[in-house]
Chain A
């Protein structure tokens, strides 16, 4: 497979060094290599990450906010080496998990958002007031006192995103955020994400989620298989995935 070099459309904020840089990154988990010698410079505003289950997408995402550290090589995010600046990363890199129930820590909506504000240094009283203001800005003022378990999946995912955005991160990393959402809810979230000023790294299996994206990276068995314009990479990946499914028919792997 050919490796497509991209004519990078660098925006003003990233005019200097690339915003995110992975340099010869190797990562092992449980004695198995998950990422092997991955080098990437991610400067575009909207970047998609695709690949089969187990291709290393989630691990790569977790390298960006310091949840995982590379075994070899280095990762730099907006000027911060993840190994040296682990404590500062959560404010630079907002992370959205696949299952909102794994992410929400507090029993009510206002507390969940208030926690982020407190983490960003606000005193508690101010954090509470601001949480209400934030909800009002998103047209969800009536959510403040709601118990989080009473929200629908889509509402929970929206809450997760709002709670992360109030920390004003420079990058938003979303790890398969649409897995349990219906199409309408997904489209709404996509539109909201599209309107954000942040750099966005989206890991998703929904191949139609990347319209308007600047670049898509396809990971295969821990390596970059293809990297370039969304249409080209997604089409190539789709061909590959369908062919693999065809080859497996009658074989032993489902």
Chain B
């Protein structure tokens, strides 16, 4: 199943979250002024080498890009149409490299450590009455529910195929939304049963 966190420990799990986030930010800043295909291709290759070093499970995560492909094709098409195909290719390579790099950070960093790294930046939000714990909860729930929603989509697709022999495709969207709302209702109930979302600024 696709998940946003790698269960098996890799060397990148040991790198402190703050360093990984800093490296991500610096690399994305550093490549901003450039748009040569060779450089972006090299960057993507380097990122793929990073994935190889993280092992087989990490490489499998490259499949996460699949939903993005139509978008990338459209972007490339637009550039081709306006006569700047090379710039388009460079941009697609840059996007791919940065998305994969960001995903590499997500899948090798525990949510807790991520929040510890990010919390100092969030702290001023407490002035506006927003608890950093509430933000942490939102991020955690996102990481938890992405794999669950993938599984829900697959289950809907399976039951559609079981009865029609065809792929559900867009037809599953409406039932998927309804099921998602039901799931959110259940989760709200479970959260309430354990005392509700944190509100205070206790740390």
Contact = CB atoms under 8 A, between A and B. Distances in A.
Interface of A: 65, 67, 87, 90-91, 95, 97, 99, 101-108, 110-111, 114-116, 118-119, 123-124, 128, 145-150, 163-164, 167
Interface in B111-151: 111-112, 133, 137, 140-141, 143-144, 147-148, 151
Contacts of B202: 123
> Helix, strand, loop or mixed for chain B's interface?
helix
Given A102-B187, A106-B140, A145-B110, A116 B194 contact: yes
B91 to A, nearest CB: 32
B196 interface: yes
A104 B194 CA distance: 11
A111 B112 contact: yes
B5 A67 contact: no
B180 interface: no
B193 A128 contact: no
Nearest to B196: A90
Given A111-B140, A124-B203, A147 B194 contact: no
Contact of A65 (B110, B111, B193): B193
Contacts of A118: 133, 198
Contacts of A145: 7, 9, 110
Contacts of B137: 105
A105 B190 contact: yes
A99 B152 CA distance: 14
Interface in B88-123: 110-112
Nearest to B152: A101
Interface of B: 1, 3-5, 7, 9, 110-112, 133, 137, 140-141, 143-144, 147-148, 151, 183, 186-187, 189-196, 198, 202-203
A90 B111 contact: no
A22 to B, nearest CB: 19
Given A67-B193, A147-B7, A106 B144 contact: yes
Nearest to B186: A102
Nearest to A148: B144
Contacts of B143: 107
Contacts of A119: 194-195, 198
B111 A107 contact: yes
A108 B187 CA distance: 16
A65 B9 CA distance: 39
B66 to A, nearest CB: 19
B190 A97 contact: yes
A244 B133 CA distance: 52
